[in-house]
Structure 1
Amino acid sequence: MKYKYPIILVFVLCTSFSGWAQDSVTVNLNSAPFQELVRVIERQIPYRFFYRPDWTDSVFVTISAQQEPVIRVLERALEGTDLFMSINERNIYVTKERPLLTVLPDDFFDQGVTSENTVPFDYSAYEKQETTRKIAEEKTYFIGTRTNNMDGKATLTGTIKDIYTGETLVGAVIYNKETSTGASTDHFGHYSIALPKGKHVLEIRSVGMRTTYRHIILYNNGKLDIELEEAITPLKEVLVQADRDVKVASMQMGTEKLDIKTMKQIPLVLGEPDVMKVVLALPGVQSVGEGTVGLNVRGGATNQNLILFNDAVVYNPSHLFGFFSTFNPDVLKSAELYKSGITADYGGRLSSVLDVQAREGNLKKFTGSGGISPITGRLTLEGPIVKEKSSFIVGVRSTYSDWILKRIMNPDFKDSRASFYDITANINHKFNDTNSLQASGYVSNDYFKLSGDSSYNYSDRNTAIKWKRIINSRLFGMATATFSQYSYTMGAERNPVNAFRMGFNVKQFTFKTDFSYTLNDNHSLSAGVITTNYNLSPGTMSPHGGESLVAHNKLQKEQGQESALYIGDDYKVNDRLSFYLGLRYSLYQYLGKRDVFVYGNNEVRDINAVTDTVHYRAGKTISFYHGLEPRLAMRYLLSDNSSLKFSYNRTRQYIQMLSNTTAITPTDIWKLSDTYINPQIGDQVSIGYYKSLKGNIEISVETYYKAMINSLDYKDGAVLLLNHHIETDVLHAQGKAYGFEFLLKKPTGKVNGWVSYTYSRSFLRTKGNHSSETINNGKYYASNYDKPHAVNFISNYKFSRRFNFSLNLIYSTGRPITLPVAKYYLENANRIYYSERNAYRVPDYFRSDISLNIEGNHKIKKLAHSSWTFSLYNLTGRRNAYSVFFVSENNQIKGYKLSVFGQPIPTITYNFKF
């Protein structure tokens, strides 16, 4: 008797379903939207539909039915789509990719089964079977309003997402082999591709995701959203499908796209993936030495790189002397490095753009990840706020040990302290299919105190708010507001009489709008406007404590306004030849309130040559600069798997970093262009050859030449901190850089990685009206970051799904230095005579790193998944010279080499996900 009432209930439901399904309707529609079919049916019979409009916006119905059962009408209407229909109690449910489960399994009421030994029905197996049987790849999608006129082309648009997290995929590729036409998703995850009307098979792929296909019949412009799942393949098979053909066919050159999976392929130095270390392993990118901050890209200075995080500027991209980047790897989505072929929407720096984007957060379920090592700990949480509509992600990372400093072979460091933390937060909300909002925030802070008296504290913080709107199938728009701030403080307290605090601060407010428009099959336009306001406090000095005799000292504040508008056109001439034509026009104002010193004509610019002081009120324009920045790129397909590319770009930089050290330091200051310090201007020409080989191997060769004016150098003995007459110590230089880059890359497979070689030269020439403003007699000399040869070898070997081994080999020429070459006696004192600037070099640099990653078992039903990473930094223990210094001993000058990390540094990290 205990099953009597359930059986009756099921019988009633089944018979009711049968009766309801027999209700008949009359329908006559021709290429009508699905919503029209819903209205026709609901007017005739008392049924109510439940469905998501974005699932049916590309469904158009052509049907003629005279008093046919509603279930048969709906089956005919949805035939050929990935939509399914279920009816229950006069409610019609339209679902995607699988129907609602309305019939209980046959063995649900098996007799003799007690509650103690009941085995739950395997719904996952049922759903997997349904998904496999009704996989979207086997369906034909009808796109656009149906018509008999199949001449011409139509545009297919949509969004590509991760099926498990709901996050959009940046850089995913949709490709039609028959027409050799492809497109990739933008930062929104949107794509747009023009195809001839008719039947097509589309291939969709993304790094780390399973390649999928869609069969479509394209009638007119329409939309097709696609979801990809993570690739899980046998060990002997290719791990991920590369977009090698698309890289050959794309317009971009000198560009590298990275995601977190690529970052994990190189040795996890000090236990965690690091986007800056991956960038440094690419051809054309170097740093001046170990334990340094910043990138030198194609012979450019470290301050000539625009580093963006969620579209907001980052001024200092590293923690702990450059050993960690400020970007928490667990929150990163992608990174793009532009070395050449910089599109017109980017500007403000001469050498490169590094655009880093964070993930939006899981839209479907709550998850977390983190890691613990002797140096750092990190934790990231993410999940839906409103399922399928709003999500968040928050990542926290910090040091809790000074263990790494105690490994430095220098007794002065053993009593030092160093720590950092960073917090990243991102919230996303999707209002509807065409509007979404993203808000992100980032805080980074470093503190260190060497064994001496001085302590340093510096921080980066930024926020960004982005509104994305799909205006129509051809037009996309985004409005972005960002705030960035970098500041540092330096202090000393040991001696109360000399105790002080010194600080610097730069703030940047930016607002921009960007639009992209697909004009037709051959033209894709982009345009936008951007404006940035700068506020700088160049330096303050104040006494610390009541006993301090340090005098107050404060530099005048600086303010500037930079604006730009741009337009670009991706122009496809034919199947082989394509162009990118871009034009950017930038304007800059240096604004008051400020006192400007006037120096005598034809005199050496120093404090004794000041003849007048001009006062400018707040908001008054002191200096005004402007100019065009043309951008040009060309791609010619030599064959289906090889291409030749060319690019030219001019860039202007209105804010510069003042530093007379070879690497970025916490006490470096940023300075706006003014009456005496002109904006830097750079022109770069690049030519490249790209080819895809069998075995999923890519080869690229690029050569470039770069010319720069108004680069900065400094007089001998220049004082940059708290200098009220900074223009007297800064020199304008003419620069040139040229080089050659080779990359052999195997991005996928059991063994993957790359080897690169870079030949790069970088020179400056400073020739003023006076000898004190001229260096090396006006001849070209090597810049501080001129390192002619560099070789990087990255290899990743996957023993099994659980064991992964990585090896990293780095070689580069030593950086230039200026050395004392003689001693002479003058005016009763010994004097040192130095060589020409940067005439010598420190010894060459070599380092090898290894890491072993051990994954936990791959059981699905686990509370958490974990892995262990064992890494060894500087495997050979080589003492690479960072610098050379000299001391006088026994009336003789002796030289010494300083090595930052002169022995192997092991690290073990425990990583987890739940």
Structure 2
Amino acid sequence: MPKATPKARILLGCLLLLLGIQSFGQATDNVTLRALLEQLESRHDIRFSYANQDVDQIFLPPISENSPLTGALNHINLYTGLKVQKINSRYYSLVLPTALNICGFVLDNFGKNTVSGATIEVLGTETKLITDAQGKFELQNVARGTQLLIRFLGFKRQVVTAEELDAQKGCQRIMLAKKYHKLDEVILYEFLTTGLRKKTDGSIEMDTEEFGLLPGLIEPDILQTAQALPGIRSIDESVSNLNVRGGTNDQNLILWEGIKMYQSGHFFGLISAFNPYLTDHVVLTKNGTSARYGDGVSSLISLKTRNHLVDRFTGGAGINLINGDVFGQVPLRQNMDLQFSARRSFNDFVNSPTYNSFVEKTFQDTDVRIAGLPREIERRSNEDFHFYDFSLKYLWDLNDSHKFRLSFINMQNELSYEETDASDVLTNESSLKQGNISVGGQWSSTWFNGLQTRLEGYYTRYEMLSNSDKVQDNQLLAQKNTVEEAALTFSTEYAFTEQLRWVNGYQFVESGVGNFTNVSLPPFKSDIKEVVRSHSVFSEMAYSSPNEKLHARLGARLNYIQSPDNLVSANGFDTFIPEPRLNLSYKLNDYWAVQLLGEFKSQTTNQVIDLKQNFLGIEKRRWVLSDNDSLPISKSRQLSSGISYDSKSLYMGLTGFWKKVKGISTNTQGFQNPGQFNGEVGEYTVKGAEFLINKKGARYSTWLSYTFNQNDYYFEDLDPSTFPNNQDIRHSVNLAATYNLNGWQIGAGLNYHSGRPYTQPDSDDPINSTIFPSQINYNSPNSSRLDDYIRADASVVYKLNLSARVKASAGASVLNLFNKTNILNTYYRLNQDNQTVETIRQGSLGFTPNFSFRVYF
């Protein structure tokens, strides 16, 4: 070892001298609390009782040997915070106070800059506050042992204890570390309510565990929440019939744990079929979808339950005026958990005001009117309806690198319906059963050098059975619609750096659809089964710049669609479909950002509505497969661009979009005028703009959203060939506000949209009786419009702590607060007996209250 130079030895000696002086100063300036207590015991012939952990490692300035005992005890309290309690003339005890005053400064540990606006949440309570402009916060009388969660967008969350922030020790500095997400998880803005966020890729993410309140809602349900967002509406008020940028509901790809769901609602779509309290992560994408996903030419809705293990049993239960439910997660072993949820309606035991409002909307027989004639026959009905759903998820972490998940869900609707005339003579007797059973598994692994693999597969089965017995006509109608689908996907993800990753994969899907119909009078029977197989490969590159200003995702998907040789229909197909995807966003500065999204997508499954064989006028949709002839593969192209402003308390966003979907049929678009169309094939084009402004404070949030939507059909074989789409809602407005105070959450909102188009009969010559059977003569398609729609909603929720581990909430909501009558749809049918046109008007929900009480543990 080389010898130190004289200069180095001098510097080393000075350093050691300084350290020695510092140590000596500490030793002489401060004494241990234990030593001081021993001195006082000897000097004053007294004894102290205390917990060793409360006095160990505590240093404080010494006191004079002449100090009186009271002065010494005050000295200890001043410098340590320990309370000295006199037991008798000789014995004293030292105890920690039950509450502390705390304070701290929140800083960025990278730039050492103060972080203003960071949220400080006292866990186990409703107390929340934010740091001031200097990053400082203060709280009085915080119980010892209390944990505080400190969070701020872009930084890792940090939990500290009250003892660490004891104000007697001075305001401590809390250093937040930067949070580096995977590229598809970067959050741009949390808006409307807590737990609802817009990501940099343009998608909307909802975290149900953090979800706040939206007007009219008392549950964190994405299928209802989505309708508060611009560009998303349900023209018939159902939570499972979402129209995203002018598309139909069957053009939305809904995934639960990666499994495609062919049923998404209960009670004809008025209630979501997914338990929102076990589903804790939802992502809705309108455009710029990842190449991982095929299908769904309008949107992607991905729902996932909690995906990590817990160290103790967690769960909850609740009840509202429609159903009761229970959910939970149970640790089975150290590396195994089981999740469960179950829900069932109870209207077969008692009918609530909410249920009665739903029934009135669904069974609107009283809205059937014979044009120009008074009603001559009064009808009465008796319905028996109930639904249930339950799910299971098995979580097994073999180790940190290999994880297995197995999921199961079952949802069922059952309805029986009897109709009698004024003389109590049975005229119609019907039943309907609808259900979806699915099972899926995933195996994810992390390998060397940032390589991840994922193998997943699923099987899903949807079935709808309906029987209608028209007793007076001696006609029996039976229908069955089934969908069976199996899929297998293998994907890899390789991270070259924190900024660049590459995803590749292969997916195989086999879809089989069956439709069975049997009519007794006139005799008719049909049994059709079709199968389509698809092989898809996809590749995608994602990049995020080091300064996080640029986020880019470029990918492509290649689908090979084929009909199996042994099951091919009269017009099978064997085709390749390329689908490029584009997703770009760039932050111009701290507040402004721009975005460009684009995608090509396709799908082979659609829903048709056949009112010639309807179910008592209740809209009943059937799944069918594309056949490359009467119903080709639907293909979409979509492009959108937008600009947004985000100052954390104020968000403004403006997006323009264009979408074209080819390969649609008049049978899949919800035309409800029999004989008007005959399954013509065409396309629709949507051009529009979406605007959202959201102002938020510590306790309130208020927003206004507006959507302009011009949506036109083009059918070459019709005259006119171009006319408004059934989903052509030109103007939509949502205005709402929420307020939080001391556990109370209050929300109120107003929904407005212009009337949807419909087709009226020719007033001069409504019936063509020159042919048999007679038909209605219609005006130009969708040349009339319904009146504008307007509805006010309100809700209130109160949250409280029953104990340290048990929380509860009670909530009440009202849909259509002012009981305004809105007509959602109007269509016509011909009464062949008296050659008159019947008008069917479908009204909205009336005044619909709901109440809930929930317990969490």
Report the TM-score when normalising by structure 1: 0.66
| Equivalent of residue 514 in structure 1, options 485, 491, 499 | 491
State which of 787, 790, 808 in structure 2 corresponds to 1:866.
808
Tell me the CA shift for residue 205 of structure 1: 5.1
Quote how far apart the aligned CAs of 1:549 are: 8.3
CA contact (8 A) 2:532 2:625 kept: no
Mean CA deviation greater in 557-566 or 627-636: 627-636
Matched position secondary structure for 1:421: strand
The SS at the match of 2:215 is: coil
Other-structure match for 1:805: 746
- AA partner of residue 755 (structure 1): L
1:640/1:482 Cα in 2 relative to 1: closer, same or farther (>3 Å)? Answer: same
1:697 aligns with 650
C-alpha displacement of 1:843: 1.6
Distance (Å, rounded) in 1 between the aligned partners of 2:174 and 2:326: 36
Equivalent of residue 406 in structure 1, options 356, 359, 369: 356
The change in CA–CA distance for 1:793 and 1:472 in structure 2 (over 3 A counts) is farther
Structure 1 pair 876–505 and aligned structure 2 pair: CA distance change class (3 A): same
* Whole-angstrom CA distance in 1 between matches of 2:763 and 2:530: 43
CA deviations on 1:298-346 (whole Å, 9 max, x unpaired) are: 1212211100011001112111122211110110111111111112111
Distance 1:306 1:217 in 2: 35
Equivalent position amino acid for 1:397 in 2: R
2:322 pairs, out of 364, 375, 381, with: 375
Report the CA distance between 1:136 and its aligned residue. Answer: 15
Query: Which SS does the other structure have where 1:276 is aligned?
Result: helix
CA positional deviation for 1:539: 2.1
One-letter amino acid matched to 1:629: E
- Quote the residue 2:404 is aligned against: 437
Return the letter of the residue paired with 2:261. Answer: V
What residue identity is the alignment partner of 1:338? T
CA contact (8 A) 1:340 1:647 kept: yes
**In 2, are the aligned partners of 1:302 and 1:664 still within 8 Å (CA)?**
no
Q: Sequence identity, in percent?
A: 20
Does 1:875 pair with 2:817? yes
- Measured after TM superposition, the shift of residue 901 of structure 1 is 4.5
Give the structure 1 partner of residue 578 of structure 2: 628
CA deviation after TM superposition for structure 1 residue 213, in Å: 7.3
Residue pairs, 1:411-810, within 5 angstroms: 415-452=382-419, 453-472=429-448, 474-492=450-468, 495=471, 498-499=475-476, 501-520=478-497, 522-541=499-518, 553-572=525-544, 575=547, 576-594=549-567, 596-597=569-570, 622-659=572-609, 665-674=619-628, 676-693=630-647, 696-714=649-667, 729-746=678-695, 749-767=698-716, 774-777=717-720, 779-801=721-743, 803-810=744-751
Is contact 2:673-2:829 (8 Å) kept?
Answer: no
Q: 1:855 offset after TM fit, Å?
A: 2.2
Q: Does residue 349 of structure 2 align to residue 397 of structure 1? A: no
Contact 1:775 1:837 in 2 (8 A): no
1:259-270 superposed matches below 5 A: 259-260=207-208, 263-269=211-217
Structure 1's 874 and 140: CA in aligned 2 closer, same or farther, altered over 3 A? closer
- Please state how far the C-alpha of 1:287 moved relative to its aligned partner: 1.5
Match for 1:643: what amino acid? A
Counterpart in the other structure of 1:315: 262
SS of 1:280's equivalent? helix
Displacement after TM superposition at 1:833 (Å): 2.3
Given that residues 588 and 626 in structure 1 are in contact (C-alpha distance below 8 angstroms), is that contact kept between their aligned partners in structure 2?
yes
State the Cα distance separating 1:430 from its structure 2 match.
Answer: 0.9
Q: Provide the residue aligned with 1:903 in structure 2.
A: 846
Query: Shift of the alpha carbon at 1:845?
Result: 1.3
Question: Hey, what's the Cα distance between the residues in 2 that align with 1:904 and 1:350?
Answer: 35
Secondary structure of the residue that 1:648 maps to in structure 2? strand
**Distance change (3 Å), C-alpha of 1:343 and 1:125:** farther
Q: CA deviation digits over 1:758-794, x for unaligned, max 9?
A: 1112111111xxxxxx2223x2111111111111123
- 1:551–1:891 CA distance, 2 compared to 1 (3 A): closer
3-state SS of the aligned residue for 1:764? Answer: strand
Structure 2, gaps ≥5 residues long = 1-50, 57-83, 88-92, 111-120, 125-152, 163-172, 183-189, 367-378, 420-428
Change (3 A) 1:891 1:860: closer
- Aligned-pair Cα RMSD in Å: 4.5
Any idea what SS the aligned residue of 1:279 has?
helix
Q: Classify 1:507/1:368 alpha carbon distance in 2 versus 1 (closer, same or farther; 3 Å).
A: same
Residue type at the aligned position of 2:760: L
Structure 1 residue 814: Cα displacement: 1.7
SS at match of 1:265: coil
Q: CA deviation at 1:423?
A: 0.4
Within 5 A, what are the aligned runs for 1:52-131? Answer: none
Q: What corresponds to 2:782 in structure 1?
A: 838
Conserved? CA contact 2:494–2:501, under 8 Å: yes
Q: What does 1:136-147 correspond to in 2, within 5 Å?
A: none
Contact kept, 8 Å, 2:195 with 2:209, in 1: the verdict is no
Unaligned runs of 5+ in 1: 1-101, 114-118, 142-161, 166-200, 224-230, 232-237, 543-547, 599-621, 722-727, 768-773
Rounded to whole Å, the distance in 2 between the matches of 1:241 and 1:627 is: 37
Residues 202 and 213 of structure 1 are in contact (CA less than 8 Å); yes or no, is this contact kept in structure 2? no
The Cα offsets for residues 98-138 of structure 1, whole Å up to 9 and x where unpaired, read as xxxx977789xx9x99xxxxx9x99x989x99xx99x9999
Cα distance in 1 for residues equivalent to 2:485 and 2:495 = 33
Post-superposition shift, 1:514? 2.1
CA distance in 2, matches of 1:909, 1:532: 40
Contact 1:360–1:393 at 8 Å: present in 2 too? no
Residues 605 and 623, structure 2, Cα contact 8 Å, conserved in 1: no
How far apart are the structure 2 equivalents of 1:519 and 1:489? 52
Distance in 2 (alpha carbons) for counterparts of 1:847 and 1:217: 44
CA shift, 1:508, in A, is: 0.8
* Distance in 2 of aligned mates of 1:241 and 1:556: 45
Q: What is the SS of the residue equivalent to 2:268?
A: helix
The DSSP-based 3-state class of the residue aligned with 2:654 is strand
Correspondent of 2:280 among 333, 338, 356: 333
Change (3 A) 1:292 1:817: farther
Is the CA contact (8 Å cut-off) linking 2:670 and 2:726 kept in structure 1?
Answer: no
Q: Give the drift of 1:888.
A: 9.0
* Change in CA separation of 1:526 and 1:330 when aligned onto 2, cut-off 3 Å: same
Q: Secondary structure at the match of 1:415?
A: strand
Pair 1:816-2:765 in alignment: no
Deviation at 1:590, TM superposition (A): 1.1
- State the Cα deviation string for residues 389-427 of structure 1 (Å, max 9, x = none): 222211111101143453427566862222111102111
Kept in 2, the 8 Å contact 1:441–1:462? The answer is yes
Measured in 2, the distance between the counterparts of 1:628 and 1:399 equals: 45
In the superposition, relative to structure 1, how do residues 657 and 549 fare at CA in structure 2: closer, same or farther (>3 Å)?
A: closer
Residue type of the alignment partner of 1:630? P
C-alpha distance 888-463 of structure 1, shift in aligned 2 (>3 A): closer
Instruction: For residue 528 of structure 2, give the secondary structure of its aligned residue in structure 1.
Output: coil
Q: Distance in 1 between matches of 2:315 and 2:815?
A: 28
8 Å contact kept, 1:441–1:463: yes
Question: 2:318 touches 2:324 (CA, 8 Å); kept in 1?
Answer: yes
3-state secondary structure, aligned to 2:277: helix
Match of 1:190 in 2: none
Aligned to 2:127: none
Rg comparison, structure with higher value: 2
Instruction: Give, in angstroms, the shift of residue 796 of structure 1.
Output: 1.6
Distance in 1 (CA, whole Å) between partners of 2:597 and 2:556 is 13
Amino acid at match of 2:257: N
* 1:744 to 1:717, Cα distance in 2 relative to 1, 3 A: closer
8 Å Cα contact 1:203-1:213 kept in structure 2: no
> Any idea what the Cα deviations from partners look like across 1:493-552, whole Å, max 9, x if unmatched?
57496445421110110111222221135522111111101122222538xxxxx88968
Query: Equivalents in 1 of 2:542, 2:476: separation in Å?
Result: 59
Say which SS state the counterpart of residue 820 (structure 1) adopts.
coil
Judged with a 3 Å threshold, the aligned counterparts in structure 2 of structure 1 residues 845 and 362 are, in CA distance, closer, same or farther, namely farther
| Alpha-carbon shift at residue 364 of structure 1 (Å) | 1.2
* Whole-angstrom distance in 2 between the partners of 1:551 and 1:328: 43
Residue 556 of structure 1: CA displacement?
3.1
**Contact 2:585–2:593 at 8 Å: present in 1 too?**
yes
Q: How many angstroms apart in 1 are the aligned matches of 2:194 and 2:826?
A: 46
Aligned-partner SS, 2:224: helix
Query: Does the CA contact (< 8 Å) of 2:725 and 2:782 recur in 1?
Result: yes
